[in-house]
Every structure is written in C-alpha cells, then in structure tokens.
Amino acid sequence: MDIETIAIRFGYGLPVTVQDKTEVLALLSGPDHAVERWPGPRLADLAPLIRDYRALRKTNDEAAQKDLLQQGDQLALRGVQAIFCRALGSTDGFRERLVAFWADHFTVAPRNRLERALPAILIDEAIRPHVTGRFADMLRAVTLHPAMLIYLNQEASFGPGSPRGKRQKKGLNENLARELLELHTLGVGAAYSQTDVRELAELLTGLTIGPEGFVFDPRRAEPGAETVLGATYQGKGLEPVHQVLDDLARHSDTARHIARKLAVHFVSDTPEAGLVAALESVFRDTGGDLRAVAEALVAHPAAERPVAQKARQPFDFMIAALRALGVGPDAVRSLEFRQARRLLFDPLAAMGQPFQQASGPDGWPEGEADWITPQGLAARIDWAMAAPERLVRPLPDPRAFLSAALGSRAGDRLVWAVGAAESARDGVGLVLASPEFNRR
C-alpha cells in the first residue's frame, strides 16, 4: 500500500512521517512514546477534587467550591492539550487513531464542570495501555474505571437484596449493564434478552467509587448467583465480575461487532464482507489480541484501495488540517484559552462534533451523511477559510500546500481551482474545504 494511503486512512494525514507499513506496525508494537511526551491528568489528581467538592456542596463556602472547580478546569485543559499534542505531534499516528477509535467505542462525556477531565483520564488509564494488548484487559479496565462508573450511573446502582439496598430502599440501575452488552461487547443485534441485562446489572452491583477512586462495595452487591447468556456467575467480590467480562470479551458476537466497527471506522461505511470476516476471525483466533487485529486491518486488500470512502470526522479533519499547515503541538499549547475556543472548539461544535461531548454512550456516528450536512459543511468551509491565516503566518503558497496536504490525491478540478484562486487565503481554504481533503 502506498504510504500516503496509510497516513491518511490509518493516521492523521499528511505529511507522512514513516517510510512504510512495516514501520507503522513497528511503531505500534513499540512503547507508547506520545503519552510519555505529552502526559495528561490522572485520576489521582481529580479524585480528591471530586471528593472535596461533594463534601463542600453541603456548605456555603463558595470560594472554596470555586477554587476546586478551577483546579478541575486546569486538569481538563491538560487533558485536552495532551490529546491535541499527541494527535499533532506523534509519528505513531495509527496508534493515535486506534486510541481515538477505542475512546469512541467506550464513550464517556462529562456531565458537569468538575468531570471535564474524565474522558482524558479514561483514555490514559484504561484505553491507551491496552490499545495493542488484549480486548479483555481493556474491557475490564474501562468497566471498572470511575469515569465509566460515573458516566453510566453505576455508582447509583444497588442490589435490591444487598444490605444498603434494603436499608436505603435503593435498587438497580441497568445503564452500565445494558451498554456493556449493546455497545461495548455483543452489539445491539446480538442474542441477549432483558433478563440478561438485569442479571448482569445485579452482577455489577458493588462497583462504585470511593474517595480515592474505584472500590468494590460488598454492602451494595446483590447476593447470590446471576445467570448471563446461560452462564452462571457466583462468588464474592470482583471475581464473578471479572469472569463475566472475560466471557463477554471472548464471545463470538463481540468479535463480529468489533470487527465490523473497525472496518466501518477505518475503511468504509459499507465495508466488504471479506474485510469484516478477516478481522473477526483474527479477533476470535487470537483471543482478542488488538495488535493482531490492527495488523490484519492494515494488511487487508480492501484497506489498501486508494479510494477514500470515508468522510473525515471534524476532529480528524481539524488535526489533519493543522498537521498539513505545520501547526505543531507547541503552537496549539501556546494558544490562549479564548483563542483555542474560537479556533478549535467552537468550530468543532459547529461542524457537529463538540469536543468530547458525544450526546450518548454510542459515541459519534460514522456515516458520511451524518457529517457532510449543509450545516457541517458550512462550518468546515468557514474554518478552512478563516482559521489558517490566524494560525500560520505567512500562509503557504496554495499550490505547494495542495501537495503537502493531499499528495497525489488532488483531483483535476481542485488543482485547477487552487491555481485559479485569487489569494493565498482562498487557495489554502479551497484545499481544506475540498472533498479530497474531507475524505480519507
């Protein structure tokens, strides 16, 4: 496969920073340099703030509350910066795109100001460590992480027969259990029933957060055995939870679900059956080895076709544009908050993808029709025309920029139009607003 196709389909676009597919996979097999170079916030930083804030809410100490919120804002900012810096600066682009895929698969979104750093924390603590590891390990790390427990209301779930459930007359919250089956593992079309959801929800009781982070609280755990998809889980503590997560991770429906999602995300809204089948069998045969699945994805002939069948999502579009413009991590990090909002975050929202604020746990839609809407396209055009000159001075020669941004992929119409543009501003904007650049 030509290296441009790899960089565009499996990375954040041009310029290419690697030589060939072998190097892409070698980087993926190596250590996660980006997370070391651009570290994000950790739960250990945020947990005390959440704990103190919850305690303070009962008081009227507004100054102290405000101070905690501002500390939380700083953590969130660090998280955002880390994500932009890695996407812009890493040569291991495939890893970054895989991380983004899994972060979307396991979507969490902040529900309030103090939770804004949680999505970045989940990525660093539960997703990145396993992105080339086993799916079962990622599933366990995510499911037990406070970010997910908070987002899908698991901390509000009590076994009806548990000591605290009985005493406080509290019951189950099925949210996490349902999404675990529907979104995270088997997929919505799989053969599970409401009974499976409920039994799994009972099995998950006890997972909650304490002052330092995740805890298992036996006083809210439903006693007795639960049956999920025909298998019976019993025992005390986390053991049966680990067991059911492992079983879900290796379920054949999970393999099919994940295989299809990967093919749809990276290659085509309507992927060839052969590609999905190939990924599915690798997933199943390797026991969910995500590096092996990623290699199979890059190696498959369907993924090698140079035809760009996907619309770049707004974040991908913006990162690819910034990279093509030569706007690096330091430039983005040095933006003042107001500038960053105006140049990055407001435009992302206008394009239909407010940063880390997917409207539900199912994450962002994949279809071209979801993104290339009149409103979304208008926002892309606006940004393409307006942002470059605010970020890059002087603007590049549009003809040189065309080849820097698209390599050999520019169509005849675009080449002509860029040459005919009456200013550098229009020419650069045309490149970024073009179908060629908005597809991958």
Would you tell me which residues interact with another protein (CB under 8 A)? Answer: 311, 342, 368-369, 372-379, 381-382, 385-386, 389-390, 393-395, 397-399, 411, 413-414, 416-417, 419-427, 429-430, 433-435, 438
Locate 393 and state its tokens. 């001075």
CB of 379 to another protein, least distance (A): 8
CB of 409 to another protein, least distance (A): 13
Neighbours of 94 (CB within 10 A): 27
CB of 341 to another protein, least distance (A): 12
CB of 393 to another protein, least distance (A): 4
Alpha-carbon distance of 245 to 167, in angstroms, equals 29
Nearer to another protein, 267 or 298 (CB): 267
213-216 and 207-210 beta bridge pairing: antiparallel
Nearer to another protein, 347 or 407 (CB): 347
Nearer to another protein, 160 or 411 (CB): 411
CB of 312 to another protein, least distance (A): 12
Nearer to another protein, 254 or 313 (CB): 313
Q: Which residue has the tokens 């396991």?
A: 106
Neighbours of 291 (CB within 10 A): 16
CB of 359 to another protein, least distance (A): 21
Nearer to another protein, 170 or 425 (CB): 425
Q: 280, 256 in Cβ contact below 8 A? A: yes
Nearer to another protein, 71 or 309 (CB): 309
